Amino acid sequence: MNSVQHHEIFKNAARIVVKVGTSSLAHNTGKLNLLQLEKLVRELADLRNQGKQVILVTSGAVGAGVGKLGLKCKPKTMPEKQAAAAVGQGVLLHMYEKIFAEYGQVVGQVLLTREDLADRKRYLNARHTLMALLQYGVLPIVNENDTVAVEEIRLGDNDTLSALVAGLVDADLLVLLSDIEGLYNGNPKTNPEACLIPVIEEITPEVEALAGGAGTSLGTGGMGTKLQAAKIAMNSGIPMVIAHGAKPGILQQIVTGEFTGTLFVPREARLHTKKRWIAFGSGIQGKITVDAGAQKAVVDDGKSLLPIGITAVEGNFEVGNVVSIHGPSGGEFARGIVNYASWEIEKIKGKNTSEILGILGHKDYDEVIHRDNLAIKL
């Protein structure tokens, strides 16, 4: 993709998800940085004035709660964090609502957990809610529901949440505003010769290593979660930008394509909403291992998964659950919604479809997973 095509990404972005981190919203004291908050709101409101739809994914609820409660340090236990978030979410939304109102912009709060996105019906409900808010001209403010989330259902970070939200609403662009300009080929905090990488077209192991993966010491602080968000966005067909949130006018610079940062270019084919949920939103209930022929048929030929190619089944799952699909080498290459329960697949694995009826006493489908319910992992 050339520079002209890159410019088109920003020019044609009509629906934009913007994520802002705690470091961009709060002082070291834990209290809100009102000057930075006002700058952010003004830029977001100006995007709305340009006719663009905007969704804000915001951190800062726990930090705002720390400041409001007068705590001397950030809470460490989950109940303490939840208590701080319960206080802080109200403070944060109140400030957003007050400042946005000065620019005539109505906002609405949406709190999400992993369970909301893992369950298909709740995923669709969240999508419908956000789409309705946009239709009414409301600017949705999204945050993880820290007041009820526990370790098992936490999304874990708002970088991941923002990428899932971008997929949820079919966004044209995802922007992560950070305390660093983008992805560097080294750690700019310790290496003055580290250079910013302006464009990433594929997240390779070498790129992941720049974020501190693979046992390296080049981590730039929080960049690992941003690369995970980039994977979700790129595989969903959504371009993503990392830029410095404290730069004046940064959002306007981004939508005109004249900015300093890192652009992650998406795959050309945009995943259908259901496949996007299968790939990134759903909870995995089990594992199916297939032979090389079945892997090729699914990945290269776009075929459904038939029982004859299945070599092993792990976990207890029911019809309609999402499972992880692994090749003979052991690596995951796809996820899909199963037409048969785990105990049924165990009986028919390695068999022809013509044998299913005789083995199970019924045959609802020829395919264990239909191609329409398969999401390939790139």
> Per-10-residue mean pLDDT for the chain, 378 residues long?
63 92 76 87 96 92 79 77 84 92 95 78 87 95 71 61 89 91 82 86 83 43 81 86 91 90 80 70 85 93 93 91 90 89 94 93 90 81
Q: What is the predicted pLDDT for the residue at 285?
A: 86
Torsion of CA 98, 99, 102, 104, to 10 degrees: -90
Place of tokens 């989330």: 149
By C-alpha distance, which of 242, 239, 264 is closest to 170? 239
**Residue range(s) of every CATH 2.30.130.10 domain in the chain:** 283-376
Q: Is 128 exposed, middle or buried (0-12, 13-18, 19+ CB in 10 A)?
A: exposed
Q: What is the predicted pLDDT for the residue at 359?
A: 93
Write out the H or E segment, with its range, that includes residue 135.
Answer: helix 120-135
Place of tokens 């992992």: 377
Instruction: Specify whether the CB–CB gap between 275 and 375 falls below 8 A.
Output: yes
DSSP 350: T
Instruction: Specify whether the CB–CB gap between 46 and 40 falls below 8 A.
Output: no
What is the pTM (predicted TM-score) of this model?
A: 0.78
CATH code of domain 3-271: 3.40.1160.10
Q: What is the predicted pLDDT for the residue at 124?
A: 82
**Residue range(s) of every CATH 3.40.1160.10 domain in the chain:** 3-271
CATH of 283-376, one of 3.30.1330.10, 1.10.10.10, 3.90.700.10, 2.30.130.10: 2.30.130.10
CA 229 to chain centre: 5
